[in-house]
Structure 1
Amino acid sequence: MDKSIKLAVLSVFMGLSCVATASTLPEDLEWISNMNEPLFASEQAKRGGTFRSFMASFPQTLRSVGPDANSGLRHYFMDGTPKLAARHPNTGKWIPQLAEAWAFGNDFKTVYFKLNTEAEWSDGEPITADDYLFMLKYYRSKDIIDPWYNDFFTNSIDTIVKYGDHTIAIIAQTAKSNDELMVMINLPSNGLQPRPEHFFKPDKDTNNDGIDDNFVRKYNFKSEPTAGAYFLDNVKKGKSVTFKHIGKDWWGYGNRYYQNRYNVDKIRLRVIRDNDIARKHFEKGDLDTFGLVLPQLWHDKSNSQPYQKGYIHKFWGYNQVAQGAGGIWINTAKPPLDNIDVRKGLTYATDFDGMIKNVLRGDYVRKPHGLGFGHGDYDRTDNKPPEFNPELAAQFFTKAGFEIIGPDGIRVNKQGLRLSFAVTYGFPIWSPRIAYLKEQAKLAGLELTLNLVDGSSAFKYILEKKHDLAFLNMGGGEIPAYWEYLHSKNVKPQTNNHANYSSPALDAKIDAFKSEFDVRKRYQISHTIQKMVTEAYIIVPGYMVPYTREAHWRWIQYPAPGMTKKTESIFYPVELGTFWIDVDIKKETKAAMKQGKVFEPVTVIDDAYKL
């Protein structure tokens, strides 16, 4: 770090390195903006209309951090809103969002950013360097009750330095390559985005950290200002939420990459707890789009009259999105799941491949590893999911002391404990999948019971570590997330260590992975971590879906081609947000339905990015 910057850094708030103001920037910086990458939105896009969709349950909170925030609508509040920069969804180069340009320091720790001087919060207040200084205090505060963010912003981020109102430097704790620094700073889930200090004025702050002592309760259902194109305009608790567009004067439209995106005026999400009921609402025209990823929906239930008459179109588009960790998470803190032989037996008694073939029509793909897929050289090339083998599973169960076969075929140990575990999951549509696993597990003398907990409540149940087994897939980034899922410091309620797993040897490798500068060495450490996780039998690798399948009324339009490499859902209104509503086509369709006029059925298969 430049000596003048070091002298300017002031340690505040309980001795933590935090924020600073510096007078001058280094003179030799090379600023990068990458403003000439190809556009991926359409000039044909039209503004207007209300996009009508649904959610299966009402969120536990409107906060983006703290208890229960890692589910529900957080993507609208944080993950899907502007970062300093973002990967171009096709070329992979960094393109500007809240920053106009960036430059790298010579220490491999520092990235300088020139902020967009036009950027504003949704309440009209300017976004400045001070909002980034406050961000660091916000995420380091114990009052937000979020250990992951406390750790990341304390142990991964050293400080933030202000150079005037619209220039900052973000300094990492450890040296990384320039690209890895940008990934760390701009990863959606890391939350390294400005926080509106003017909104979070504390009523009571006994520890003088700048955050309200009653933060969690005070902001549980308060909507904070956003940098994105949509703000939360209306909340009907338990029923619906409505997001409203800032308008044509949204600051982002001065950026060529944001033009012709976020085209609808409003986004209305209704609570419809049953997927079949939601589908009926969609086919009546009350919802604009409906997901068809489920095999039975695509193959069996998308051939009704509105499809046949061309009022509703079908779209199947492949992507190359990194797949997150998931499958069956084993709560290793609960006996007898703390016995590795029980976990080995459970792994080989879980027939994911049979489920994919017999329940999911062969449409899905098995994950090669419980920690996900699509991380490039971070992934082991020999990762292979365990095959269903009830005979081998029985051997491990016997070794663990479950030698006796009960009258119902389920194994029992000498103390009379049955080999029975509940599988917690959040959506009724998953029941047939888990029911298949249940029947197959009986072949090894294992009983799996189905524990359906509604929507976001299921994730809360899992976060609180109440589960035996959790049927759950997490989102993924281009660099594997190890600390949050595996480090012993994260073995506590309200964290993503869903396996409740603790290992000093694994902790050491994760710490080494976080601190290693040499990318090739990091790849090797990553391979070792993945091998250790495999050998610990804590996650049974599940399935992945490298595409999106959706139905939409013909008035919902999208660019040609519709997909980018990173499109997870073509009709998701935040993130890329390239679709639009054609009001004229909507009027035409409504009139045709009344008159009995029909159109040609339409099914689009976009396989440009099929692996």
Structure 2
Amino acid sequence: MKKITRRELLKLGGVAVSGNALIGCGKSLRKPSANLKLNQSNVPIVTPQGRTLPPDAAPFAKQILYESAAEPRHLDIARDIYGAGVAINWGGEPLLRRDENQNLVPAMAESWQAGENAEYWDFVIRKNARWSDGVPITADDWVFTFRHLASPALDNAWTWFYYDIKGIQNYKEGKGRAEDIGVEAIDDRTVRIYGENGAIPHLPAMMAYQAAAPAPRHKAEQNPEHWADTAENFVSSGPMRLLSWEHNQRLEWDTNPFYNGAHKPGIQKLIQLVGAPSIGWFNSWLNKEIDYIANLQPQELAQVINDNELSGYLHSYNNFQTEYLSFDCLRPPFDNVWVRQALSHAIDRTPFCEKVMLKTRIPAFSMLPPDFPAYNAELKTIQDFNVEKARALLAEAGFPNGEDANGNQLVLPLVSNGRDVVLEYVKDQWERYLNISVNLQILEAAVWGAQRSRHEMPLYHGQYEYDFLDPANMLTRLWRSASENGSPRHAWRNVQFDDLVTQAGREIDEPKRLDLYSQAEKFLVEDVGGLFLTHQVTHQVWYPYLTGFAPDKNGNVVFRYLDISRFQMYIRNDVDEWRD
């Protein structure tokens, strides 16, 4: 068997660069003196929201965080997580959040309780919750929010995320009324949410989704599409308040004077710099223009690891994101499970993760990543790297040595969303080990997206990062069939899988529910509904003056974008020694 060489791996990836390749644009890093004595003043620093900062915190006026951002289309979080990304978490508060150990904790809701058989859940909004303009946040705002995000007139592309809530899908598709949506106000502070198909045990996890934030009825009802187009009209339900928005330049926030929730930030002013500079965000971090990088790219990670100082600022964790290949399993040749299985055994994932992606990935053999609820390590052997088995399966499918009965070489179409090193590696592996030809076609992003939604691509590279910590998110919504053509994203159907995830979605006994999901995923992996490639490892850096993150139960200190760590952080009082 011919092994792929490191030189070939680097040629495929084009990412393993010298540790000094990026440093040219940045200032030399100057560490503060090792003898620096932090201020241990006995006078506590108390924020306007009432949080007492630790003794080593910088003065109130220096609690400023600089971060990178993308120019938003608007700030209506409930309607569009991507279009309003800058406002997520800072300017919007869901009913619940996750702590550093991924436990559910109160956010806008001070308590939550299941109804009979978990067919509905009651969430009690904390007392005196207010928008940043002082208007009370009530259960009526939440009733309005779900009608707003599902409105056919707004045609929100992400409404499907909430289809497990009663009436959402019918209203979005013009088959029902807004009044039929199963979200009701029991009183001013209690909102009740019903499941579409009876029991909905995963609803609290869904309500910790970072974009499941309320829309202000007093603002949005009169102008649903444009109420959040300006800083002047936007109101926040979260811990921060938007002060200004200079398009394509920056957004500035301060603390919301009416926020009385559990997650009062140490940061008192947030400056979001919009649009990647010509030197790139990593060099902006080296220049101390921003305070952290939440996700290093492979070449940036290489530089950090190879630098004695920078490596001390590195933090890492296994993220819940999976990359996979998706087949059109309803048409030849991918309607033949032996073909799909053969392909799954003909990719050596380990050298790709370690040498091309420089350990920003780990091999994946299932949709659910390690440590995700219902993850099953026993699935690893089903799609493992085994060239002999791959060749035998391909022969069984009618393509011995990669050829059909007439001696014609098997040619597989593979569609790429722009240049994609993952698919370049996959093409190399299949051609190397199976003697087939792979026709790699590159499409523009808009064309690629449209073809995916219409199930027009025979084979493509997909990836998905969890939105809420439950198998209902990464299995049911993504893979369960919605029609005879499969799920909205994938042209794959499996009756056993569909039945098991549907049953799991109604099971209120937690161990039984997770076991059902585990059984379902085994069908997904064995039938190769998806060919699983990698799980993401997130590597990030920040300077020591940015501190306050609570370690998780394993002692790891990381900044998970979807939990409460952004509110834990504060600026240490040696910040001036770093920001020069």
TM-score by length of structure 2 reads 0.72
Which residue does the alignment assign to 2:218?
A: 198
Distance (Å, rounded) in 2 between the aligned partners of 1:236 and 1:446? 53
Distance (Å, rounded) in 1 between the aligned partners of 2:199 and 2:369? 23
The 8 Å contact of residues 112 and 167 in structure 1, kept in 2 or not, is answered as: yes
Read off the aligned partner of 1:382 and give its amino acid letter: E
User: CA 1:107/1:45 → structure 2, altered by over 3 Å: closer, same or farther?
Assistant: farther
Tell me, yes or no, if structure 1 residue 282 matches structure 2 residue 302.
no
Q: Deviations over 1:24-45 (max 9, x none)?
A: xxxxxxxxxxxxxxx9985644
Q: What is the CA distance between 1:530 and its match in structure 2? A: 0.8
Q: What is the CA distance between 1:383 and its match in structure 2? A: 1.7
Match of 2:412 among 420, 429, 435: 420
User: CA 1:522/1:107 → structure 2, altered by over 3 Å: closer, same or farther?
Assistant: closer
Q: Deviations over 1:143-165 (max 9, x none)?
A: 34345146222269973342432
| 571-580 or 279-288: bigger deviation | 571-580
Q: Deviations over 1:273-310 (max 9, x none)?
A: x8x73333332333332356445433445656xx75xx
Distance (Å, rounded) in 2 between the aligned partners of 1:499 and 1:65? 25
The 8 Å contact of residues 89 and 565 in structure 1, kept in 2 or not, is answered as: no
Corresponding residue SS for 1:198:
helix
Residues 261-410 of structure 1 correspond to what in structure 2 (within 5 A)?
A: 261-272=266-277, 277-291=280-294, 293-300=296-303, 314-319=312-317, 323-332=320-329, 335-361=332-358, 364-376=361-373, 378-384=374-380, 386-402=383-399
The 8 Å contact of residues 288 and 553 in structure 1, kept in 2 or not, is answered as: yes
Tell me, yes or no, if structure 1 residue 98 matches structure 2 residue 84.
no
The 8 Å contact of residues 97 and 563 in structure 2, kept in 1 or not, is answered as: no
Q: What is the CA distance between 1:84 and its match in structure 2? A: 2.0
Read off the aligned partner of 1:134 and give its amino acid letter: F
Tell me, yes or no, if structure 1 residue 112 matches structure 2 residue 122.
yes
Q: What is the CA distance between 1:486 and its match in structure 2? A: 1.4
Match of 2:522 among 506, 531, 548: 531
Match of 2:192 among 169, 176, 201: 169
User: CA 1:54/1:438 → structure 2, altered by over 3 Å: closer, same or farther?
Assistant: farther
Distance (Å, rounded) in 2 between the aligned partners of 1:571 and 1:267? 18
Match of 1:229 among 217, 234, 239: 239
Q: Deviations over 1:286-342 (max 9, x none)?
A: 3332356445433445656xx75xxx6743335576x24433333435653333333
Distance (Å, rounded) in 2 between the aligned partners of 1:380 and 1:453? 35
Read off the aligned partner of 1:317 and give its amino acid letter: H
Read off the aligned partner of 1:187 and give its amino acid letter: A
Read off the aligned partner of 2:542 and give its amino acid letter: H
Q: Deviations over 1:160-183 (max 9, x none)?
A: 342432233334456659x75533
Distance (Å, rounded) in 2 between the aligned partners of 1:119 and 1:260? 16
Distance (Å, rounded) in 1 between the aligned partners of 2:90 and 2:329? 30
Residues 515-594 of structure 1 correspond to what in structure 2 (within 5 A)?
A: 515-545=506-536, 548-553=538-543, 556-559=545-548, 570=559, 575-577=564-566, 578-582=568-572, 585-589=574-578
Distance (Å, rounded) in 2 between the aligned partners of 1:551 and 1:454? 32
User: CA 1:287/1:518 → structure 2, altered by over 3 Å: closer, same or farther?
Assistant: closer
Q: What is the CA distance between 1:562 and its match in structure 2? A: 5.3
Q: What is the CA distance between 1:98 and its match in structure 2? A: 0.9
Which residue does the alignment assign to 1:151?
A: 163
Corresponding residue SS for 2:219:
coil
Structure 1: give runs of 5+ residues left out of the alignment.
1-38, 204-211, 406-410, 592-611
Read off the aligned partner of 1:188 and give its amino acid letter: Y
Corresponding residue SS for 1:382:
helix
Tell me, yes or no, if structure 1 residue 84 matches structure 2 residue 95.
yes
Q: Deviations over 1:217-269 (max 9, x none)?
A: x68967854312345665566x455252344x241xx34x4234444432223
Q: Deviations over 1:393-450 (max 9, x none)?
A: 3344444454576xxxxx6786978523335357x7x62x543333222121344566
The 8 Å contact of residues 329 and 539 in structure 1, kept in 2 or not, is answered as: yes
Q: What is the CA distance between 1:498 and its match in structure 2? A: 3.1
Corresponding residue SS for 2:218:
coil
The 8 Å contact of residues 462 and 470 in structure 1, kept in 2 or not, is answered as: no
Which residue does the alignment assign to 2:476?
A: 483
User: CA 1:389/1:464 → structure 2, altered by over 3 Å: closer, same or farther?
Assistant: same
The 8 Å contact of residues 501 and 520 in structure 2, kept in 1 or not, is answered as: yes
Structure 2: give runs of 5+ residues left out of the alignment.
1-50, 169-179
| 222-231 or 343-352: bigger deviation | 222-231
Residues 587-606 of structure 1 correspond to what in structure 2 (within 5 A)?
A: 587-589=576-578
Q: Deviations over 1:361-395 (max 9, x none)?
A: 5564323412333234x333522152223343334
Distance (Å, rounded) in 1 between the aligned partners of 2:255 and 2:563? 13
Q: What is the CA distance between 1:197 and its match in structure 2? A: 1.9
**What is the percentage of aligned positions where both structures have the same residue?**
16
Distance (Å, rounded) in 2 between the aligned partners of 1:62 and 1:498? 27
Q: What is the CA distance between 1:123 and its match in structure 2? A: 4.2
Match of 2:428 among 431, 436, 439: 439
Read off the aligned partner of 2:204 and give its amino acid letter: M
Residues 10-159 of structure 1 correspond to what in structure 2 (within 5 A)?
A: 44-46=56-58, 47=60, 48=62, 51-54=65-68, 64=77, 69=80, 71=82, 73-74=84-85, 76-77=87-88, 81-90=92-101, 92=103, 94-105=104-115, 108-145=118-155, 146=157, 148-149=160-161, 151-154=163-166, 159=182
User: CA 1:162/1:337 → structure 2, altered by over 3 Å: closer, same or farther?
Assistant: same
Corresponding residue SS for 1:271:
coil
Distance (Å, rounded) in 2 between the aligned partners of 1:519 and 1:235? 45
Which residue does the alignment assign to 2:253?
A: 244
Cα RMSD (Å): 4.4
Distance (Å, rounded) in 2 between the aligned partners of 1:165 and 1:413? 71
Q: What is the CA distance between 1:568 and its match in structure 2? A: 9.1
User: CA 1:299/1:318 → structure 2, altered by over 3 Å: closer, same or farther?
Assistant: closer
Distance (Å, rounded) in 2 between the aligned partners of 1:225 and 1:163? 25
| 141-150 or 507-516: bigger deviation | 141-150
User: CA 1:301/1:103 → structure 2, altered by over 3 Å: closer, same or farther?
Assistant: closer
User: CA 1:201/1:103 → structure 2, altered by over 3 Å: closer, same or farther?
Assistant: closer
The 8 Å contact of residues 347 and 429 in structure 2, kept in 1 or not, is answered as: yes
Which residue does the alignment assign to 1:14?
A: none
Distance (Å, rounded) in 1 between the aligned partners of 2:366 and 2:123? 37
User: CA 1:220/1:529 → structure 2, altered by over 3 Å: closer, same or farther?
Assistant: farther
Distance (Å, rounded) in 2 between the aligned partners of 1:566 and 1:72? 35
TM-score by length of structure 1 reads 0.68
User: CA 1:61/1:459 → structure 2, altered by over 3 Å: closer, same or farther?
Assistant: farther
Q: What is the CA distance between 1:133 and its match in structure 2? A: 1.7
The 8 Å contact of residues 360 and 539 in structure 2, kept in 1 or not, is answered as: no
The 8 Å contact of residues 229 and 262 in structure 1, kept in 2 or not, is answered as: no
Q: What is the CA distance between 1:132 and its match in structure 2? A: 1.5
Corresponding residue SS for 2:187:
coil
The 8 Å contact of residues 231 and 246 in structure 1, kept in 2 or not, is answered as: yes
Question: How many residue pairs align between the two structures?
Answer: 507
Corresponding residue SS for 2:344:
helix
Q: What is the CA distance between 1:469 and its match in structure 2? A: 1.3
Q: Deviations over 1:171-217 (max 9, x none)?
A: 4456659x755334x2306x5543222233357xxxxxxxx6xx5xx
User: CA 1:515/1:176 → structure 2, altered by over 3 Å: closer, same or farther?
Assistant: closer
